[in-house]
Structure 1
């Protein structure tokens, strides 16, 4: 007899007994309202397997998933460097001999966006003169507040990319994407959460944040929760010759220490309506600048060296008359400010521990010829081998 003929389930029970009711239940289509679906699936130990698939966008520099902070002082070239790196990702080209996973890039040029078209044109003329295929690089150069606007931004990317998922979304800069106070822990937490939502909306991708340094130049500006949340942190500075030096300071799931040396090459693009030249710059490799690894340093020694290099890039000045420096030294900074920058960045609240760590680091860097102090001034020697005493 069919279920329809039975009518109400009670009729089936009276006419054919409980076995018929059970059979009728088994034949009925199952309804799942979603209330009992498992949100959290535990993976047993035996099922946890190491993946050998690529987990990078640029090997040794950018992971394929997570938050990347690219920071440095104003006018150090960090935006030029980030754009150049982004173009290599969009095209799938090797970057300085490093493997690259090709993917769509969305670039938010929120600072100096009016000049970004000139950078794109310079890159196009230098690298893509004979390139005919579409380049999956998309520019957004209108103001936004990531905390308030991330939902609308997600919708815009989904609609305008036509179903393609971005491999990387670059936000240049944090200051222009945050309407709140970057020093406030709540505002920074909201910004990080908005960046996480942006990343997760596309099935995981990389969110790159271009950011300025603090007053002392020793770390990214604003609340330290940003550095705590990032997966890779890259410092960009200028050396004494004006070269752009990008250093991978830390990487959660990889080896830090990669150094990329570049310089800006000026290119003329034509004339404006007034007859004046339109110019922009391109990132090119810096000839004669080595990126080889130097002596192995402890974390404290690395911090002391990075804070000095950053301070020199941000506040370096010609050596004053009372500063005894080797011939050829072009930039020095306050030794007191170097110590203060180290103290501010060193991960402890104990003054005595900070003081001992700085003294040890200063001696070690001096012995290696990586840093020097005379009177009230500090600098990085031009030729480390000749500066050792």
Structure 2
């Protein structure tokens, strides 16, 4: 009985301690967690039950394609017409005119012509001559730009955009980077630690300028793998557009788009020659403009999957063969062993990689 009485007294004492602690702490307090005020939260929080009933759709810069303040990549092989198409799109934004049957939001364009300012100038001259008009509010930046080597050029772009808006009284809606390779000079395109620095500055520019940033990029050696280099670039953007040039015609296909529901849409176009003058040898000096056309039928070939693309990206960094077991070990914790071996088998069948004596390498570097 005495032991039972002691247990009762202990329980009562514990209850009093709990009650006193409850008086000091809010009911929802959890042991070990400091109490903070709502406005002291280090991260921006939105509760689901506080969302409004009315839905606000994404603000579109180009209908069904580009969003205001977003980011995109447009890529294709050399001479596929990708720069011509981007200039045509950017000119439509600067004019506030429809583009390929899509409505646009009018705004100033800042075109970072890091690859060839002269080429961009001549193509805009051809555009104006062909359409019989002048394109307003289309600024061509003619300096080299590097978003890999420090923050200086990113800061210069932001300052230029802000000052242009004051001078022109017009909002910059679109920034074009031509090309990603030139904007990331010195970086290893296949290395995430390098390209993530470029993407960080890409995001800073579009965020601080509140403008869409479109990057022109190149296809990889294996076209089925998509754009060249680190796959994280594709993951970082809101939209991706692939340019193809086939015997059936040229096409821009939306291969990725967030929240707009237009993935898979294909936009056909052709290039018409425009004569701008004569060379010093008396030959015609020509360039091209984009003209809408029917989109060619979509090829039946299967696009490379995520695992296959990751394997190709990894092997692209090697100039010699590597054991298949080493490829599997590289992706440990990211992909299971089975999918990696199946991906390598599929890539060998597609002639995207070569295999010999248990070793694999990119087909283009195999001898």
Tell me if both proteins adopt one fold, taking TM over 0.5 as the criterion. Answer: yes
C-alpha distance 294-115 of structure 1, shift in aligned 2 (>3 A): closer
Q: 2:286 maps to what in 1?
A: 279
- Listed as ranges, the matches of 1:316-355 within 5 Å are 349-350=335-336, 352-353=338-339
How far off is 1:271 after superposition? Answer: 2.0
Q: 1:48 maps to what in 2?
A: 51
C-alpha distance 352-41 of structure 1, shift in aligned 2 (>3 A): closer
Q: Does 1:57 align with 2:61?
A: yes
Report if the CA contact (8 A) 1:88-1:100 is conserved.
yes
Q: 2:316 maps to what in 1?
A: none
- Listed as ranges, the matches of 1:365-376 within 5 Å are none
Following the alignment from structure 1 to structure 2, what is the Cα–Cα distance between the partners of residues 92 and 54?
A: 19
Report if the CA contact (8 A) 1:73-1:213 is conserved.
yes
TM-score relative to the length of structure 2:
0.67
Q: 1:98 maps to what in 2?
A: 102
Q: Does 1:178 align with 2:197?
A: no
Following the alignment from structure 1 to structure 2, what is the Cα–Cα distance between the partners of residues 167 and 51?
A: 23
CA deviations on 1:108-159 (whole Å, 9 max, x unpaired) are 11123222221011100112x2x46x61211112211124311112112222
Q: Does 1:265 align with 2:272?
A: yes
How far off is 1:99 after superposition? Answer: 2.0
Q: CA RMSD in A?
A: 3.4
- Listed as ranges, the matches of 1:128-147 within 5 Å are 129=132, 131=133, 135-147=136-148
How far off is 1:54 after superposition? Answer: 5.6
Following the alignment from structure 1 to structure 2, what is the Cα–Cα distance between the partners of residues 99 and 54?
A: 14
- Unaligned residue ranges in structure 2 (runs of 5+): 1-38, 309-333, 352-367
- Listed as ranges, the matches of 1:2-81 within 5 Å are 42-49=45-52, 50-52=54-56, 55-81=59-85
Q: 2:217 maps to what in 1?
A: 211
Following the alignment from structure 1 to structure 2, what is the Cα–Cα distance between the partners of residues 160 and 272?
A: 35
Q: Does the residue aligned with 1:201 lie in a helix, a strand or coil?
A: helix
- Listed as ranges, the matches of 1:223-238 within 5 Å are 223-238=230-245
Following the alignment from structure 2 to structure 1, what is the Cα–Cα distance between the partners of residues 181 and 303?
A: 27
Aligned residues between the structures? 280
How far off is 1:95 after superposition? Answer: 1.7
Q: 1:380 maps to what in 2?
A: none
CA deviations on 1:70-103 (whole Å, 9 max, x unpaired) are 1111111111111111111111111222222222
Q: 1:12 maps to what in 2?
A: none
- Unaligned residue ranges in structure 1 (runs of 5+): 1-35, 308-347, 361-371, 374-389
Report if the CA contact (8 A) 1:60-1:258 is conserved.
no
